[in-house]
């Protein structure tokens, strides 16, 4: 499995953990009667907090992932050659991290699918308002659609890396 596939899987797991943590937190608050469906301030604050947590968690997890990747490459080099050449390891890491035309094409196609999902979610959120659902429902649909859109984007990337991609 290549570096990019591993990175995509890490990203999916991070997003999944964040969305699970959010819904566990929100569900518990709602069960305890601390989150009224029309309390927009509570929901907006919670969503904003979790967006912040998601950004920080993504950065921290990516840093840990890169450290582990470097250790893995160094250990592999040590096992294969009996020595660990720092420059050789650095060269291999740089080579793994190159973003070329295929990566850009995959990213573009995956992003298009992710945006479509977010767009559908936006429309669904508007429909929920028209159907007289609580504002919290609208906010949660919006939040969920962006998270699911992002996860679908990552899954699509993984699919294209595995199956290959054609121009056009």
Partner 1 sequence: MVKKFVIKNNIRTLRFFADEMTQQQLAEKAGASRQTILAVEAGKYAPSLELAFRIADAFGVTIGEVFDYEIKEIKK
| Binding of partner 1 by 96 (CB under 8 A) | yes
Residue of 111, 94, 109, 100 lying closest to 163 (CA atoms): 109
Phi, psi for residue 58 in degrees, rounded to 5: -60, -45
Residues 2 and 92 sit within 8 Å (Cβ to Cβ): no
| Binding of partner 1 by 7 (CB under 8 A) | no
Find the part of the chain contacting partner 1 (CB under 8 A) among 13-21, 48-56, 63-71, 160-168: 160-168
Residue 50: how many CB atoms within 10 A of its CB?
Answer: 20
| Binding of partner 1 by 31 (CB under 8 A) | no
Question: Could you tell me the smallest distance in angstroms from the CB atom of residue 8 to partner 1?
Answer: 12
Here the tokens at position 5 are: 């596939």
Residues 144 and 85 sit within 8 Å (Cβ to Cβ): no
Query: Binding mask 98-117 vs partner 1 (x if CB under 8 A, - otherwise)?
Result: xxxxxx--------------
Closer of 39 and 96 to partner 1 (Cβ):
96
Q: Which residues bind partner 1 (CB under 8 A)?
A: 2, 4, 95-96, 98-103, 161, 163-167
């Amino acid at each position: 499995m290549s570096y990019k596939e591993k990175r995509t899987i890490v990203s999916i797991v991070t997003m999944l953990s964040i969305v699970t943590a959010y819904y566990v937190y929100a569900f518990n608050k709602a069960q305890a009667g601390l989150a009224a469906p029309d309390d927009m301030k509570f929901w907006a604050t919670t969503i904003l907090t979790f967006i912040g947590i998601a950004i920080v968690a993504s950065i921290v997890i990516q840093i840990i992932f890169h450290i582990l990747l470097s250790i893995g490459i160094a250990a592999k080099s040590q096992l294969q050659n009996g020595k660990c050449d720092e420059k050789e390891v650095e060269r291999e890491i740089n080579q793994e991290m190159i973003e070329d035309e295929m990566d850009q094409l995959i990213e573009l196609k995956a992003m298009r699918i992710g945006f479509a999902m977010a767009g559908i979610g936006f429309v669904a959120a508007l429909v929920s308002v028209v159907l007289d659902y609580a504002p919290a429902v609208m906010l949660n649909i919006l939040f969920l659609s962006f998270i699911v859109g992002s996860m679908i984007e990552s899954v699509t990337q993984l699919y294209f890396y595995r199956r290959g991609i054609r121009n056009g």
